[in-house]
Amino acid sequence: MTSTAAIADPATGERNGRTPALELRKISKSFGAVRAARQVSFEVHRGEVMGLLGDNGAGKTTVVNCISGSHQPDSGQILIDGAPVGIPDPQTARALGIETVYQDLALVETLDVTSNMFLGRELKRRWPLLQWTAWMDRKRMQRETQENLDRLHIDIPSVKSTVAHLSGGQRQAISVGRAVAWGRHIVLLDEPAAALGVEQTDLVLALIRRLRDEGVAVVLISHNMHDVLEACDRVVVLRHGAKIGQIDDLAGLTTRHLVDMITGVTLGGRDVRYTES
Ligand SMILES: Nc1ncnc2c1ncn2[C@@H]1O[C@H](COP(=O)(O)OP(=O)(O)OP(=O)(O)O)[C@@H](O)[C@H]1O
Ligand SMILES: [Mg+2]
């Protein structure tokens, strides 16, 4: 049974009297004739990992891109800490404490690891004309990048390595590391472990748990149901752009249950809350 204590009030999105860190209200987004997201609503609380599930083309990335400022929803509302916000671009999302690991990783291949880590938030120089201050900033960014990677146990040849020379898994680790390092409030992870080996996947799942323990609200998209069961507290399922249900308590669920829910087969007697949309 879904625990009634965990069910959100549909009017306010509040669960257990707490205001969600992130709430979507009836977000819709079309690309021409394709209705990629149809009135999608959900909420994510601090210290919680919410799995956003669905088959290929279900609308998961579209929804995440609306939250990260990469897309503008056609209609609906996004609320951060209960306040409606406009997120016209990724810079605004970052200023709101939202960090994203994009499905395509969004790294600049021609730049090195440090530059990618600080992309869009390079340390400002006080005296732009003085070369040595630029050099100092660079050194500082390299040191901080190395510290962050060490802290997260991310192993790459050097922070001076050009991203184009790194493996797919190393790029993915940097993209996740960047989000974990900067994510203060909300972290959106679109397939963060897709290209990772077993050990690196475990590392990413551990990072997600650490974010949760630090009180960050996390949205995790994954096609790997083992990872979902391992990392997520709740799941929301999309099909053809619409939310078709959510499970607030994953205890006792198997990967089969989740696959059945995604593909629309029976739910093995499991109590799933279906939405009005
Ligand atoms: N920029 C775009 N222009 C046109 N159509 C798009 C665009 N982005 C997404 N779509 C369409 O919207 C639908 C949802 O795509 P989306 O990328 O959100 O799916 P997804 O759930 O992330 O799938 P996957 O698991 O394969 O990543 C698809 O039909 C896709 O073709
Ligand atoms: Mg996607």
Q: Where are the domains of the chain?
A: 4-97+183-263
* Structure tokens belonging to residue 19: 């205001």
Strand order in the sheet with 217-221: 83-85, 75-80, 22-31, 34-44, 242-247, 234-239, 48-53, 217-221, 186-190, 98-101
pLDDT one-digit tens code per residue, 76-111: 999 999 999 999 999 999 999 999 988 776 778 888
- Cα separation, 137 vs 204, in Å, equals 29
Torsions phi, psi of 9, nearest 5? -70, 120
- Helix/strand/coil for 172: helix
Mean pLDDT computed over 245-256: 91
How far is ligand 2, taken at its centre, from the CA of residue 227, in Å? 16
Between 112 and 7, where is the model more confident? 112
Ligand in closest contact with the CA of 28: 1
Is the pLDDT at 129 greater than 80? The verdict is no
How far is ligand 2, taken at its centre, from the CA of residue 156, in Å? 26
- Pick the closest to residue 215 from 8, 3, 63, 45 (CA basis): 45
Confidence band of 248 (pLDDT split at 50, 70, 90): very high
pLDDT one-digit tens code per residue, 52-82: 999 999 999 999 999 999 999 999 999 999 9
| Residue recorded with tokens 């205890």 | 251
| Mean pLDDT computed over every residue of the chain | 84
- Pick the closest to residue 23 from 76, 67, 95, 79 (CA basis): 79
- Cα separation, 87 vs 91, in Å, equals 9
pLDDT one-digit tens code per residue, 14-61: 656 689 999 999 999 999 999 999 999 999 999 999 999 999 999 999
Is the pLDDT at 209 greater than 70? The verdict is yes
Q: What is the pLDDT of residue 12?
A: 55
Pocket test for ligand 1, best of 31, 101, 224 (most atoms within 8 A of CB): 31
Confidence band of 1 (pLDDT split at 50, 70, 90): very low
Between the ranges 66-70, 158-162, 272-276, where is the mean pLDDT highest? 66-70
Confidence band of 210 (pLDDT split at 50, 70, 90): confident
Any ligand 1 atom below 6 A from CB of 72:
no
Any ligand 1 atom below 6 A from CB of 110:
no
Q: Ligand 1: which residue has its CA nearest to atom 5?
A: 31
How far is ligand 2, taken at its centre, from the CA of residue 180, in Å? 20
Q: What is the pLDDT of residue 16?
A: 62
pLDDT one-digit tens code per residue, 163-195: 888 888 888 888 888 888 887 899 999 988 887
CATH number corresponding to 4-97+183-263: 3.40.50.300
Q: What is the pLDDT of residue 54?
A: 95
Pocket test for ligand 1, best of 29, 38, 61, 68 (most atoms within 8 A of CB): 61
**Which helix (H) or strand (E) is 136 found in, with range?**
helix 131-151
Any ligand 1 atom below 6 A from CB of 54:
yes
Q: What is the pLDDT of residue 270?
A: 54
Q: Which residues of 116-150 are buried (b: 16+ CB within 10 A; e: fewer)?
A: bbbeeeeeeeeeeeeeeeeeebbeebbebbbebbe
Q: Ligand 1: which residue has its CA nearest to atom 26?
A: 56
Q: Ligand 1: which residue has its CA nearest to atom 31?
A: 57
Q: What is the pLDDT of residue 276?
A: 40
Any ligand 1 atom below 6 A from CB of 34:
yes
Q: What is the pLDDT of residue 239?
A: 94
* 50 strand-pairing partners: 219, 234
In 10 A of CB 74, how many CB atoms?
Answer: 14
**Which helix (H) or strand (E) is 43 found in, with range?**
strand 34-44
Confidence band of 204 (pLDDT split at 50, 70, 90): confident
Amino acid at the residue 184? R
Any ligand 1 atom below 6 A from CB of 69:
no
Any ligand 1 atom below 6 A from CB of 61:
yes
Q: What is the pLDDT of residue 132?
A: 58
Chain CA centroid to CA 87, Å: 16
Is the pLDDT at 127 greater than 70? The verdict is no
| Choice among 40-54, 124-138, 209-223, 256-270 with the minimum mean pLDDT | 124-138
Ligand in closest contact with the CA of 102: 2
- Pick the closest to residue 245 from 44, 36, 53 (CA basis): 53
Q: Ligand 1: which residue has its CA nearest to atom 19?
A: 57
pLDDT one-digit tens code per residue, 214-245: 899 999 999 999 999 999 999 999 999 999 99
